[in-house]
Structure 1
Amino acid sequence: MTSAGMTSDAIATVATSADVLRHPGAGEHLLTAVEKERAARFRHESGRVDFIAAHVLVRLCAADLLDVPATAVTLAQHCPDCGKGDHGKPGLPDHPGIEVSLSHTKGVVAAAAGHRPIGVDVELTDRGGSLLDVAPRVLAEAELRQVREHADPARAFLRLWVRKESLIKIGRTTLDGLAAVDLSGLPLDLPGGRPLLSPFEGLQLLDWVDEAHGAAVAAVCEVAPRVVALDAL
């Protein structure tokens, strides 16, 4: 496990929902009553599984930083707009010094934890084409030109999309403000398929493609996030 004394550490991971739930430290027993109630609302079993896996994985990440078992990590969410606790930004009431973020898509989940604010997003790479329709509404003009001129516009857009979604998670922008965030100064292609770390307005933005799971991932923090494998948690 990561030493709890590494106060600048930030980690992120991505895995299939099935793999997360096979982890020896996983299980629905980790969820709070509110989370179990939310999971039960899903009409499709696949959505329920993805929800549970994401909420378990973020506990595993936080437990790794804290050097405690996942059973010692309680996750809560709070919406500042309506005041309800069944959605909104996730946090750890018993460990306020650790910030967390989670994301899930069909069959794949991502999570991140750090000693500073952190955001993570994951999308399936084959979704780039369908998401491309919203590009004019969420991209700055320079970004839109980059995407249109790219050899693979769908993948280029998806790279920008997960980056921007991670910025929403960290509170740097909102869904309505995405077009005002211009990431055109960052490379769109990953060198040799390796994770790419880019500075952006005082933040460290890490993004990569997890080819094994067919997913594009982005994590952002004030310090460089470190990618960890599920079996290392």
Structure 2
Amino acid sequence: MTSEDLDQNAPLAAVAASADVLRHPEAGEHLLTAVELERAARFRHESGRVDFTAAHILVRLCAARLLGVPAAGLTLAQNCPDCGKGDHGKPYLPDHPGVEVSLSHTKGVVAAAAGHQPVGVDVELSTRGGSLLPVAQRVLAPAELRLVEAHPEPDRAFLRLWVRKESLIKLGRTSLDTLAAVDLSALPLDVPPGTPLRSRYQDLHLLDWADEDLGGAAVSAVSTVAPRVVALTPPTAR
């Protein structure tokens, strides 16, 4: 048993290739609601539809593992506090108000988390074109920006801060407009592949990891209780 298995009440976080999620025995578009299916159909490219579908399935698999129930018995909904519409915004489980969920998707990779405490998760790929530094100047605190600019791989360093901050947004601790006010410069920027890195920010537990088997994906999960990583899909054969 590893340290990841010790706290059975901890939020669960998972990351996987979209294709692996769709091969899971419980996976299928039958899990999605009519609203989700309509949203999936809006994507211009099939790859976008696949990633959206996989993320919405993976978050159900996380919640199902947490609750000890079949994924098919879980309904996922979303709500936007700004406009009140139910086709976007914070995801939740209407039939399980005591469970918090979060999801994220990028090109070919998805992440999800579920817990009895507020939880946020984000995944991004480091293999993307163009410099991220113009964005960094708008969303980083001054001390963070100095660290990124001095780093031998500034784009990768920024991406680590970005997934952390996105997770905080999904947790409800900040917003896109206030990201620069959140200073995470005291946290380590380098997360080696393999064992996830644990750190603290105020009362929060952060879990960061880098998955080189998934295109160098940078993942971050955050909660008021230390999250643990679970494997919900078999790895892609290589």
Residue 173 of structure 2 corresponds to residue 176 of structure 1: no
Over residues 29-65 of structure 1, what are the superposed CA-to-partner deviations in whole Å (9 max), with x where a residue is unaligned? 0000110111111111111111000000000000000
CA distance in 2, matches of 1:129, 1:89: 29
Alpha carbons 2:21, 2:233 under 8 Å: kept: no
Residue 214 of structure 2 corresponds to residue 217 of structure 1: no
Q: What SS does structure 2 have at the residue aligned with 1:90?
A: strand
Q: CA deviation at 1:229?
A: 1.2
Q: CA deviation at 1:189?
A: 1.2
The alignment covers a number of residue pairs equal to 227
CA distance in 2, matches of 1:184, 1:80: 30
**Runs of 4+ with deviation above 4 angstroms:** none
Query: Which amino acid in 1 is paired with 2:232?
Result: L
Q: What SS does structure 1 have at the residue aligned with 2:222?
A: strand
What TM-score, normalized to structure 2? 0.92
CA distance in 2, matches of 1:209, 1:150: 17
Alpha carbons 1:11, 1:226 under 8 Å: kept: yes
Query: Which amino acid in 1 is paired with 2:105?
Result: H
> What is the RMSD computed on CA atoms of the aligned residues?
1.4
Query: Which amino acid in 2 is paired with 1:72?
Result: G
Q: What SS does structure 1 have at the residue aligned with 2:132?
A: helix
Distance 1:58 1:204, change over 3 A: same
Q: Give the aligned partner of residue 143 of structure 1.
A: 144
Q: CA deviation at 1:191?
A: 5.2
Alpha carbons 2:199, 2:205 under 8 Å: kept: yes
Give the share of equivalent positions with the same residue, in percent: 76
Q: What SS does structure 2 have at the residue aligned with 1:58?
A: helix
Give ranges in structure 2 of 5+ residues lacking alignment.
1-6
Q: CA deviation at 1:131?
A: 2.5
Over residues 166-192 of structure 1, what are the superposed CA-to-partner deviations in whole Å (9 max), with x where a residue is unaligned? 000000000111100000010111256
Q: CA deviation at 1:228?
A: 1.1
Over residues 148-203 of structure 1, what are the superposed CA-to-partner deviations in whole Å (9 max), with x where a residue is unaligned? 11111111111000000000000000011110000001011125653111111100
Give ranges in structure 1 of 5+ residues lacking alignment.
1-5
